[in-house]
Amino acid sequence: MSDIKNKILVLICDGMGDRLTNGYTPLEKAYKPNLDFLASQGVLGIMDPIAPGIKPGSDTSHLAILGYDPYKYYTGRGPFEAIGIGMEVKGGDIAFRCNFATSTPELIIKDRRAGRISEGTSLLTETINNLEIDNIKIMFKESVEHRAALVLRGEGLSPFISDTDPHLEDSSVLEAKPLDNSLESLKTANIINKFTRLSYQLLSKHPVNKVRQQKGENPANIILVRGAGLVPYLPSFEEKYHLQGAFIAEVGLIKGIARLLSMHAPDFTFATGSYDTDMKQMILTSLNLLEKYPIVFVNIKTCDLPSHDRNFEMKVRAIERIDEALAPLKDFKGTLAITADHSSPISVGDHSADPVPLLILGDVRKDKVNSFSERDAAQGGLNRIKGVDLMPIILDLAGYSEKFGA
């Protein structure tokens, strides 16, 4: 590997940060000789992915860690839902979160989740994807169960329109209305209202729904939209940093964000996002990618699963499996950062705003901390930084920063 000293590897262990369970965090309880060895060679600190006390989503935290201020670039759930399920959106598109729902012919909603439909949505999707209404391209994609996303692409659109989802059952489908006085919002609302009626026409006679009705299940015969958002115009990673970046991610949302930044973020069959994922292969692949790319990110999902299940022992084991996979990094000679995108305490069972541990190796001021955990990291030489500070810091350490001033 040429110029290894200028190579940067960033490992983001999803949801790894925690609080205390019986006096210890999972990181403190885990047997993790490789992480501790790496800690003894580097400088540690704690990091607020967004800002102190702000509970991050995986989307906003990854934007921040990649150096894109989420307060500037995060435009709502719609666009990031679409990104997360693998729709190829681009800056300027308008995206919505959607539900398959059950409607009467009078457009009264009887079931907002169409019986939590679990099969057949991809067939239903074929009917309502790739439409065109008023010269605007309509893209639709199903997600899990009744969830889906809708993307409008074309000239003269606006995200400032209201939801069609009444959020209550036995209520009429709402008319999308413009939320400002612009022609763009009026046009977008009209298109959504046409799409809503069209979805009922196309879906209500669909064979999947005929079968559902024969089985006594609620048909998925209309699409409700909510959370309109503009897909942000993001400068690509290369435009922003003059470096080509690669990203190894297990889940759609993270891959989608990387692709939105035009990073190299292919699908890898060994990165499954479940307990069967092959983390060793992910690490070896990251090292291979560093032959070509100056900077590679890896999101390891394993810790997040037991966090949501509030399973302390499983989280300890997930950390131990990550630790094993990191063995090859003990010889890494470039700049290496190991952190998390958010804390997910066992006591909470969801994301929290607690800062995450951060370890940086390379041409750093090695500190006295020789264990990788939340509380040890808080004693480290980096003190406390924010997620958006990470990229500038590691770019400077690896020799890529530009002087501000003279």
Binding site for its own copies (CB under 8 A): 19-20, 23, 25, 45-46, 50-61, 70, 74, 77, 80-81, 84, 253, 345, 347-348, 350-354, 363-367, 374-375, 378-386, 389-396, 399, 401-406
- Which of 51/202 has CB closer to its own copies? 51
Tell me the sheet residues that pair with 21.
Answer: 24
- Which of 177/366 has CB closer to its own copies? 366
- Which of 42/219 has CB closer to its own copies? 42
Nearest approach, Cβ of 14 to its own copies (angstroms)?
13
- Which of 21/121 has CB closer to its own copies? 21
Determine the Cα–Cα distance for residues 331 and 274; give it in Å rounded to an integer.
28
Nearest approach, Cβ of 18 to its own copies (angstroms)?
9
CB-count burial class (<10 Å; 0-12, 13-18, 19+) for 264: middle
Determine the Cα–Cα distance for residues 307 and 18; give it in Å rounded to an integer.
9
Cα 268–chain centre separation? 17
Q: Which two tokens stand for residue 136?
A: 């605007």
DSSP letter for each residue of 128-162: HSSEEETTEEEEEEE-STTEEEEEEESSS--S-B-
Nearest approach, Cβ of 363 to its own copies (angstroms)?
6
SS3 176: coil
Q: Which two tokens stand for residue 33?
A: 């000789």
Nearest approach, Cβ of 46 to its own copies (angstroms)?
6
Non-local (6+) Cβ contacts of 215 within 8 A are none
- Which of 105/405 has CB closer to its own copies? 405
Q: Where are the alpha helices (DSSP H) in 42-120?
A: 58-65, 70-73, 77-84
- Which of 208/303 has CB closer to its own copies? 303
- Which of 267/350 has CB closer to its own copies? 350
Nearest approach, Cβ of 266 to its own copies (angstroms)?
23
Nearest approach, Cβ of 227 to its own copies (angstroms)?
10
Matching residue, tokens 């998390």: 340
Determine the Cα–Cα distance for residues 255 and 261; give it in Å rounded to an integer.
10
Nearest approach, Cβ of 251 to its own copies (angstroms)?
12
| Helix pair angle (121-128, 183-204), 10° resolution | 130
- Which of 240/375 has CB closer to its own copies? 375
Nearest approach, Cβ of 367 to its own copies (angstroms)?
6
* CA geometry: angle 192, 197, 198, nearest 5 deg: 90
